Chains A and B, each alone.
Chain A
Amino acid sequence: MQFLNNYKRIWILARFELIRLFLTKRGIIALAAFATVWFIILYYLVSSAVAIVSSDVFQDIAKQLFGVLGLTDLLKWPVPELAIYWLIAAYLFPSFALFSASDQTCSDRTRGTLRFISLRATRTEIILGRFLGQVLITAILIAVTILATVLMATYRDLTLFDDGVLQASKLFVDLSIIVLPFIAMMTLLNSFLRSSKMAIVVCTLIFGLGPFVIGLLAYKLPIASQLNYIFPGMQITELLGQTEMALTNYSLPIIQSVLFLIIANIIMKRTSL
C-alpha cells in the first residue's frame, strides 16, 4: 500500500510538470516558440532536403555525402522525410531537453516552494516526479513532431502513411531513449544548483570542457578515456546510421540516466531546503 502511495505522489508531481508546460501562459509561449522552430525545420529544411535527396540529379551526391557520414542506410528508408527528421531531431531534441528540463527544482528551492512540497512528498519522489514529468513533456513533443513529419510525407505521397507510422514508432522510441540521460543530467544539476541559468552554464561547461579534460587525462592514463561514457549522447553518432541494433545504443543512455538519478537523489537528500 505504501509503495502505491509513492507511485501516486510521483505521478501527481509529474502531472504538475505537464500542467506547467501545457496550461500556463509561460508554458504556452514556450510551446509556441517550439512549434515555430519545428515549422521552419519541417517546411524549409526537411521538405527541401527531401526534394534534393529524392531528385535524380542530386541522388549520387547525396549517396556520396551520406556514405562519407556512414548514413547510407538512411537513403533506403521509404519515407525520406523521416530520415532527414531523424538527423535533425537526434541532435536537436537532446539540446531542447537540456533547456526545457533546466528548471526542475532550482526555482522551487530558491523560492521556498520545495519546503511546502517536501512536507508532503519524499525527496526521492520529488526527484523522480520532476524527472518523469520532463520525460513525458519531451516524449509528447517528440511524438507531435514525428506525427507532423509523417503527415507531411503523406501529404506528398499518400502511400507513405503505413511505412511512415511504422518507422515513426521506432524513431519515437529511439529519440525518447536518447533524451533520457540529458534530462537526468539536468535533474542531477538541479539537485544542488539554485538557478536554471546556472544549470545551463554548468552543463555547457561540462559538454565544452569535459572531453578536453578527459583527453588530457587519457594522454597520461589511457583508461581515463572510458570517462567519455559518462557524457549523455555518446551513442548518438553510432545510432544515427541506424545500421544495426547495438544493445549499447539503448543500454548506455538508460544506465547513464539511472546513475545520474541515483547521484541526484543522494545529493538531494543531503541538501538543505
Chain B
Amino acid sequence: MSHIIQAKNLNKNYGHKHALSNVEFSIEKGAPVALVGPNGAGKTTLFSILCGYIKPSSGEVLIMGHPPGDKALFGKLAALPQDAQLDPRFSIAHQLKFYGQLQGFSAKKSQHEVERTLDLVGLLDVLNVKPSELSHGMRKRVTIAQTLIGSPEIVLLDEASAGLDPLHAREVREVVASLSSDITFILSSHDLNELERLCSQVLYLEQGCLKEHQTLTTPSSDKCRYFTLRMKQQEEGIIEALQQLESVSHVILTQDREFLIKAVAGHEDAGTDIDVLQLCHKNNWQYAQIFNGKTLENQLF
C-alpha cells in the first residue's frame, strides 16, 4: 500500500518546551486514522504541521510526496482546524463558494459543491445565513462541510465532534464512515468510542512523543483473545464466577462494572463469549455490552 503521509524525526519546540519529539509515522491510504492523546500531548501541533500552518523545528513530513502547504496539495488535503471560524460578515454559501473557486471550480460548480457538502452535514437550509446566526454545533458542521468541497484525498478533522449533540455527532460519524472509501480521514478526538467505531489505525501521542502507532487488529488475528464485558450494575462475585469458567484464563476489573476477560490460550474457538453470556443468564445478571476484543481505551491506557 502507498503511504500518503510520512513523517520522519519530527520535532517542534516552543522555547524550551518540546511539543513534539522525534515523531515518526506513516499513514496509508484507506480507513480513517485516529490521533489520540491527552490535552497538551501535541495533537493540534501535529495537525498544524500536516496542514502547513506551522513549520517543524526539525524533521520532515511528506504528504503525497509534497511538503505540507505545497500548492500541489490544494484541493487534495482539507482540514478542520481546532477553533477556526468562518468570517462572520459573509453568508455560509458565499464563503464556501469562495473556497470552491479558490480550488479551481467555476462559480456554478462551486455553488453546486456548496449545496452538496452542506447537504452532507444536514445544513442545506443555512445556505444564506451568516455564521454568527448559527449555534456552535451548526458552525462546526459547516466547517466540516468546507473540508468536503471538491474531492479531497485526505481530510484532517481536529475535534470534529466536540461540542456537537449526540445526534449530530452521529451524523458526522456517518459522513466520515460513508466517505472513508474515497477519503483518508485523520481524526483527533477525546471520544475513544467514536474513534473505535471509525478508525483502523491509531497514533497515540503523549507529551509530544508517539507512544503507539498501531493498527486496530481484528479479533481473529489476536494471539490472545479478549472480551470486554460491561455490566448494567455491580454484581457480587462476578470476577470469581468468570474465572471459574473453563474457557477463561484471566479476568481484570478495568473500571467500574467493566471487565477484561482473557480467553484460555490456544482455545480461540472455546466459545468464551457464549460461556460468559450463559453465566450472566444463569445468575440473572444484566449485562450492558460484550465487546469482542480490548476496547481502544484499554489498549491505550
Contacts and interface: CB of A to CB of B under 8 A. Distances in A.
Interface string A106-127: 0010011101111111110000
Interface string B30-52: 00000000000000000010011
A113 B85 contact: yes
Contact of B85 (A5, A12, A112, A273): A112
Give the secondary structure class of A's interface. Answer: helix
Interface stretch (B99-107, B162-170, B193-201, B233-241): B99-107
Contacts of A9: 102
Contact of A272 (B48, B71, B83): B48
A197 interface: no
Interface residues of B, number: 31
A79 B69 CA distance: 54
Contact of B102 (A2, A12, A20, A111): A12
B53 interface: yes
Given A12-B102, A272-B48, A119 B79 contact: yes
Interface in A6-21: 8-9, 12-13, 16, 19-20
Contacts of A119: 51-52, 73-74, 77-79
B98 interface: yes
Given A120-B74, A272-B48, A111 B85 contact: yes
B174 interface: no
B86 interface: yes
B84 interface: yes
Most chain B CB within a 10 A radius of its CB, from A26, A120, A122: A120
Given A111-B87, A116-B86, A119-B77, A272 B53 contact: yes
B99 A115 contact: no
A115 B75 contact: no
Interface string A74-98: 0000000000000000000000000
A36 interface: no
A121 to B, nearest CB: 5
B291 interface: no
A115 B102 contact: no
B54 interface: yes
A26 B87 CA distance: 13
B75 A118 contact: no
Contacts of B55: 270, 272
A24 interface: yes
A61 B99 CA distance: 59
Contact of B99 (A24, A26, A116): A116
B99 to A, nearest CB: 6
Contacts, number: 72
A115 B54 contact: no
Given A12-B101, A12-B102, A115 B87 contact: no
Contacts of B146: 116
Contacts of B71: 2, 5, 122
B48 A121 contact: no
B89 A26 contact: yes
Most B Cβ at <10 Å: residue of A5, A8, A118, A123: A118
B78 A5 contact: no
A115 B74 CA distance: 12
A116 B84 contact: yes
Contact of B86 (A8, A25, A113, A273): A113
Given A26-B89, A272-B54, A121 B84 contact: no
B89 A113 contact: no
Contact of A115 (B79, B89, B94): B79
Contact of B69 (A2, A8, A24, A118): A118
Contacts of A122: 69, 71
A118 B99 contact: no
A226 B15 CA distance: 37
B67 interface: no
Interface in A214-273: 270, 272-273
Contacts of B85: 111-113
Contacts of A26: 89
Interface of A: 2, 5, 8-9, 12-13, 16, 19-20, 24-26, 108, 111-113, 115-123, 270, 272-273
Given A8-B104, A111-B87, A118-B51, 14 more contacts: A2-B71, A5-B71, A19-B90, A112-B81, A112-B83, A113-B85, A115-B51, A115-B79, A116-B84, A119-B51, A119-B73, A120-B99, A122-B71, A273-B48
List 4 tightest A-B contacts by C-beta distance, closest first: A112-B84, A120-B102, A273-B53, A272-B54
16 contacts: A5-B104, A9-B102, A12-B98, A113-B85, A113-B87, A115-B81, A115-B84, A116-B99, A117-B102, A118-B53, A118-B69, A119-B73, A119-B74, A119-B78, A120-B75, A121-B74
